[in-house]
Amino acid sequence: MRIYRLLSAVWSAKSRSLSVALVSQGSFSVVRCLSTSCPWNGRRKGSQYDSVDTEKYSSLVHSVVSSKVSYRTPASLEEEDGQLYGPVVKSKPAAKGTEAKTLKNIVPLLNNAKVLEQQTVEAELPPPMRIALRKAQGRPAAPSVTRILQHSMPLEQAFYLERWRKRMIGELGEEGFKEYTANLFRQGNQFHAALEAILMSTEVPEEAEAPAGGVCGYVQSVQHVLADISGVRAIESAVTHQTLQYVGLVDCVAQYRGKLCVIDWKTSEKPKPLLHNTFDNPLQVAAYIGAINNDDNYGFQVEDGLIVVAYKDGSPAHPHFMDSALCLEYWTKWLFRLEEYLEK
């Protein structure tokens, strides 16, 4: 539109000269004779483009207009980028001090003094062990696995936990939140009591069958998992890692699909279909495995784990099996958390 207006102005100017048509041998050419009074030949106004360094961009312009087919190569493109944007600024090297941490005290998960037993016939097994957790007499009490994990929790995980706590207090109030957590703790105890009764082949306690505030849904949730469990070796039994000096209370040690496992029963109001949804539970299981293997009270070794997440509405529980390689991986992570706790 702008060019059209300029052309119209030129053709309508009084100072425009006439064009002469020359005809030769059946063809013609047009010659335009412009007078010195033509506004195009006059001194034009300055433009912001007058200061452009044309030599700097000459090669770039030439590459664009010289051919319909681009002959650009990676080298020419790099040269053009350098002309347009300047030299490439390389990123700074990683700061020092970010090297991976190393363990100060490497303790193996398995105990060479013990032998990994093969699958045993259930009829040959002794009654499940149940060692009470006792406080130390005359010496400082060893820290529990739960305490160590709580006091070495990563900042991000602690942030989300605190945000959840504040949100729940905002919805329920201080007293309501206390009642809510107490109810969760009570249901957890009832659920474990019901599982103990089932695994010990006794009747389920009446409190576990109570529909109001009971745990029937949780028990129903784990039925398909219980069908794969046999050869129970320990239930609600205390363990002590005699080298690292920490204690814990193991939910269950039994065969799961032919593998001797430390089994940890969990309840949840939300689905946890993946292992990482269970947060620190794999570390807890690995810590218990290491403790059993280094506790003289237990004449066997364990190298696998199982986390079972049960749901109150009775929907099928999610069993998360941890093989020996995965348990070893989480054992290393547990050792880091233990060192962090001891350094505080």
pLDDT in tens, the chain (344 residues): 444 454 454 445 444 443 433 334 444 443 344 444 444 444 555 555 566 566 655 665 555 545 444 455 666 666 665 665 556 555 455 445 445 688 888 999 999 888 776 655 566 788 999 999 887 666 778 999 999 999 999 899 899 999 999 999 999 999 999 999 999 899 999 999 999 999 987 444 444 444 345 789 999 999 999 999 999 999 999 999 999 999 999 999 999 999 999 999 999 989 999 999 999 999 999 999 999 999 999 999 999 999 999 999 999 999 999 999 999 999 999 999 999 999 98
Our answer to whether residue 266 is catalytic in this structure is yes
What was the pLDDT predicted at 201?
74
Q: Which candidate in 53, 56, 92, 266 is catalytic? A: 266
Rounded to whole angstroms, the Cα distance separating 245 from 55 reads 77
Angle between the N-to-C axes of helices 324-343 and 281-293, in degrees from 0 to 180, rounded to the nearest 10: 90
Does this model's pTM top 0.75? My answer is no
Amino acid at the residue 232: V
Is-contact 291 246, C-beta < 8 A?
yes
What was the pLDDT predicted at 116?
74
Our answer to whether residue 81 is catalytic in this structure is no
Q: Please, what sign has the CA dihedral across residues 214, 215, 220, 223? A: negative
Question: For 214-248, b where at least 16 C-beta lie within 10 A, e where not — what string?
Answer: bbebbbbbbeebeeebbbbbbbbbbbbbeebebbb
What was the pLDDT predicted at 7?
42
Task: Please list the residues that pair with 264 across neighbouring strands.
Answer: 307
Rounded to whole angstroms, the Cα distance separating 246 from 305 reads 19
What was the pLDDT predicted at 266?
97
What was the pLDDT predicted at 204?
45
Our answer to whether residue 280 is catalytic in this structure is no
What was the pLDDT predicted at 73?
65
Q: Which helix (H) or strand (E) holds 80?
A: helix 74-85
Q: Which candidate in 264, 280, 295, 304 is catalytic? A: 264
Cα 120 to its chain centre, rounded Å, is: 38
What was the pLDDT predicted at 153?
92
Q: Which candidate in 53, 178, 251, 344 is catalytic? A: 251
